[in-house]
Structures are given as structure tokens and as C-alpha cells.
Amino acid sequence: MATTTTAVNACGAKIQLDDKDGALQDISGSSVAGNIELTTKLGDYKVFADGCTYRLACGKDGSISLTIVYTTDDSEGIGILKEWWDADYDDARSIQIDIPTGAGGDDSYTAEVYLESLSIPLTADEASPIMVAAEFKPNGCIDISQIAS
């Protein structure tokens, strides 16, 4: 099989998150890492007749995590997340992650998500900026589409 010529990396990924007004804000400039976990709910069983395990699939699920630089501007990633958890934690918001860059035809992962956890580690002798870990769980499906706008 021919070697691929279409590999991409995540250097230019575009990450957007709803602010309190429900408008997607580009937080790529204050995000350093992310992970999109796509899962299928499986149940397994084994019968007497053979030694194999069989499975049935029942629905899709997933989770999204981001690593955000702790900054002081309210419009950046941590500002939006703090406000969300503090004032609006029980509402789902939209998240959109575009790979590789958010240009026309690029992959787009979108979901309505709840903010499940926000972890802010503090270390006295660490010179690097604080890296905040945010975990999101979708309320519904994580949609995969192509950018067309």
C-alpha cells in the first residue's frame, strides 16, 4: 500500500468553547493539549459451546479533556471555565475542536458538554505556568463533521 501523504499533526488545531452568552470563543491561544475520547458501550458474554467471548454494542459515548494555561484574561480559556463552573455549572455548553486547523474541509468534533472537573495544580517551586486540566462529558453525541463555513 502506498505511503500516506495526508498525515497531520495537532500544532494548528482550533479549539472553541461557548462563553456565558453561548457564543463560541477561540481558546486555542491559551490551550496546550487536548484529548478526544470516543467510546462504544459494550456488553460481553460467553457461552458453554466454545471458549470465546462475544460482545454486543449499545450506544456511543465519549469524553473530551483540555489542558489550559492559567491566565488572567477573562476571555481566555481559564476565564471562561472559571465563570462556567462558578455561575453556570449545571448547563451544558458547546465545544468544537477542529483538526488540523479549522479550514474548509477539515475535521470538526463538536458536542454539547458538561464541565465534569477542573483541576488547578499549585506547586511552590514550579516556574512554568500553571497548567489546568479540564474534563468534559457530552450531553448527547460527539458529532464528527467537515468544516463548511
Partner 1 sequence: MAIYRVHRKLNRGSGKPFILPGIYPALDKVLQPDMLETLIERGYVSVASTPPLAELPIMERHVSVLERMGITTIEQFVDADPKTLYRRLRLKKKDVIELRELLINEYLTLIEDGRGCCR
- Contact of 83 with 74, CB cutoff 8 Å: yes
Site map (CB under 8 A) of partner 1, residues 63-102, x = contact: -------------------------------x-x------
Exposed (0-12), middle (13-18) or buried (19+): which is 136, by Cβ within 10 Å?
A: buried
CB nearer to partner 1: give 24 or 130.
Answer: 24
d(CA 56, CA 37): 20
**Which range of residues in 67-75, 113-121, 124-132, 141-149 is near partner 1 by CB under 8 A?**
141-149
Three cell numbers written together for 69: 494555561
Placement of cell 462504544 in the chain: 40
| 145 binds partner 1, rule: CB under 8 A | yes
| 30 binds partner 1, rule: CB under 8 A | no
| 149 binds partner 1, rule: CB under 8 A | yes
Three cell numbers written together for 84: 462556567
Binding site for partner 1 (CB under 8 A): 24, 94, 96, 103-105, 108, 110, 143-149
